[in-house]
Amino acid sequence: MDTASTESTSSPTRLGDGAANTTAPARIALVGVHGFGTHHLRNLDRLSATGMVDLIAVADPNPPAPGDLPESTAVHSNLDELLAGDHQPDVIIVATPIQTHAPLALSALASKADLYLEKPPVASMSDFLRLQEAAATSGRTVQIGFQSLGSRALAALEKLASGQASEELPGIGTLKGISATGRWVRDRAYYKRSRWAGKRSLDGVDVVDGVATNPLAHAIATALRIAGARAAEDLATVETDLYRANDIEADDTSVIRLRTINGLPITCALTLCATESVEPYVTLHGTEGTAVFHYTEDRVTVRTEAGETTHTFGRDDLTENLLQHLSEGTPLLSPLDDAGAFMRVLEAIRTAEAPALIPSECVNWVGTGEQAHAVIPNIEDILERATGAHATFSELGLPWARPITGGAEALYTPGADAAASTNATTVLRSGSHLEPALSPRPYLHPVTTPAGIVVTDHLPSDHVWHLGAGFALQDVNGSNFWGGRSYRRAAGKYVDVKDHGRIETASISREKDHTMLDLTWFAADGGLVLKESRSLSRTVLDKRTWRLDVQTRLTAVVDVSLGSPGSHGATGSGYGGFFWRLPVNASPRVFSSTAEGEPSVHGSVTPWLAWTGEFDGGPATLVFGAPAESADPWFVRCSDYPAVGSALAWDTAVEVAEGESLTRTTTVWISDGILGAAEIEGLVSGR
pLDDT digits (tens, 9 = 90+) for 268-326: 999 999 999 999 999 999 999 999 999 999 999 999 999 999 999 999 999 999 999 99
pLDDT tens for each residue of 425-459: 999 999 999 999 999 999 999 999 999 999 999 99
Per-residue pLDDT, 5: 42
pTM of the model as a whole? 0.94
**What order of strands is seen across the sheet that includes strand 299-304?**
307-312, 299-304, 289-294, 281-286, 175-183, 265-271, 253-260, 235-244, 356-357
Q: What span, in angstroms and rounded, lies between the C-alpha atoms of 503 and 565?
A: 20
Please report the domains of the chain, with CATH numbers, ordered by start residue: 26-148 (3.40.50.720), 150-314+334-382 (3.30.360.10), 406-685 (2.70.98)
Per-residue pLDDT band for 10 (boundaries 50, 70, 90) equals very low
Per-residue pLDDT band for 97 (boundaries 50, 70, 90) equals very high
Per-residue pLDDT, 4: 42
Rounded mean pLDDT of 480-491? 96
Per-residue pLDDT, 6: 45
Please name the amino acid found at residue 670: I
Per-residue pLDDT band for 388 (boundaries 50, 70, 90) equals very high
Q: Which residues contact 561 (CB under 8 A, 6 or more apart)?
A: 475, 476, 477, 653, 654, 655, 656
Q: What span, in angstroms and rounded, lies between the C-alpha atoms of 147 and 156?
A: 17
Per-residue pLDDT band for 413 (boundaries 50, 70, 90) equals confident
Percentage of the chain exceeding pLDDT 70: 96
Asked whether residue 224 carries a pLDDT value surpassing 70, the answer given is: yes
Cis peptide before 120 (omega within 30 of 0): yes
DSSP state, residue 110: H
Q: Which residues contact 133 (CB under 8 A, 6 or more apart)?
A: none
Please report which residue ranges of 276-432 form alpha helices under DSSP H: 318-328, 340-351, 379-389, 393-396
